[in-house]
Amino acid sequence: MKISERFLKYVSFTTTSDENTKLTPSTPGQLIFAKYLVDELSSIGMQDVDLDSNGYIMATLPANTDMEVPTIGFIAHMDTSPDMTAEQVKARIIKNFDGNDIMLNPEKNIILSTSKYKDILNYIGQDIIVTDGTTLLGADDKAGLTEIVSAMEYLIQHPEIKHGKIRICFTPDEEIGQGADHFDVQKFGAEWAYTMDGGEIGELEYENFNAASAKVTFNGLNVHPGYAKNKMVNSMLIANQFIGLLPREETPECTQGYQGFFHLINMEGTVESSSLSFIIRDHDNDKFELRKGLFQELVAKINEEFGAATATVEIHDQYYNMHDKIKPVMHIIGLAHEAMLQVGITPKVKPIRGGTDGSRLSYMGLPCPNIFAGGHNFHGRFEYVPVPSMEKATMLILKIANLLTQKQSNTYTTN
């Protein structure tokens, strides 16, 4: 099956995850898709294909060489982001993209602007898959799924390409931070793995944010507004004051690279009670702790002004920077780096301004850096993926597997 055909089939499944269900997988569409993938993996010749009760798929491509080669893995996630609907995705291929704005939806006048999304100009002359502007596309991470399945199929059909044992896993609920919750590292049995879950072609990532969630609750007192003087305490105004105490320039829209941030993601309120939900991010461990500490300090400041228990905060760590776990095994980065060069990809080694399953898996004993899947503008209506980027990612998986087999040592260095 062509890569583009496989991808278009995958995005036809609705697999949006939902953190509110408290189920695993969190939505039934993921399990429907998982059963389809199990049948497909079996049909192309993968072995030990298993779908567990939590919706995790694992499968094996046995080694076809007698050489002692470490078992490696490739991982992608089946769910799509709840940030935008993925029901009835209407994807289409823009053949030989000419560099002009793309009219996604004439009826609703939804246009993918090349002046706003300049990266798309890097793909002039290529086939690009887009939506009709009413849904996200789902390249995050159905492009990664497509690439792994396509690579396994190719290796099965071309036994002349020598490789060690390869394990693959497709996980549910990555987009809601639960993709590694029920991942059985021992069962997976790989020495290391790569998540195919990055963005543009060339991305190779082994650093990510330390992450925490914070919910600040404010208690007020409602009184008839006509008789409220010196009695009413409006929790919404106190919540607004709390927001103003945070450094304005340390938000996602004002930061880049290694810079951390505070991000207000939800607010609810009445006079009596209000809440603010934040995510806290920083690559540096010490700065991460300081950011969490600032929330405690500001809550204490609010309580000092308005009275004890006016504000409370709950902070929960979500994941940590995988750098500390990858650094002792940098040969796995060197292997991917060298493989990229051999298939004509310019490596772009940079920190992830986010997290992947790989960050948690690395702390669970499975070193797991991240490789590009090829998509752009994830989680929104202007998401797109160049077909050649998916083809190159597939080639990269093949090269990593073969290059590892060719090596006589497990030690690699980056250029």
Question: How far is the C-alpha of 410 from the C-alpha of 131, rounded, in Å?
Answer: 43
Give the 3-state DSSP-derived string for 14-77, with helices as H, strands as E and coil as C. Answer: CCECCCCCCCCCCCHHHHHHHHHHHHHHHHHCCEEEEECCCCCEEEEECCCCCCCCCCEEEEEE
Question: How far is the C-alpha of 142 from the C-alpha of 136, rounded, in Å?
Answer: 12
Would you state the structure tokens that stand for residue 325, as one six-digit string? 């776990």
Which residues share a beta bridge with 192?
72
Query: Torsion over CA of 139, 144, 149 and 152, rounded to 10 degrees?
Result: 150
Question: How far is the C-alpha of 238 from the C-alpha of 310, rounded, in Å?
Answer: 9
- As annotated, the active-site residues are 79, 174
Strand 210-219 with 203-205, pairing: unpaired
Question: How far is the C-alpha of 218 from the C-alpha of 227, rounded, in Å?
Answer: 22
Q: How far is CA 58 from the centre of its chain?
A: 19
Taken as a whole, the chain contains a residue count of: 415
Buried/exposed code over 69-84 (b: 16+ C-beta within 10 A; e: otherwise)? bbbbbbbbbbbbbbeb
Amino acid making up residue 134: T
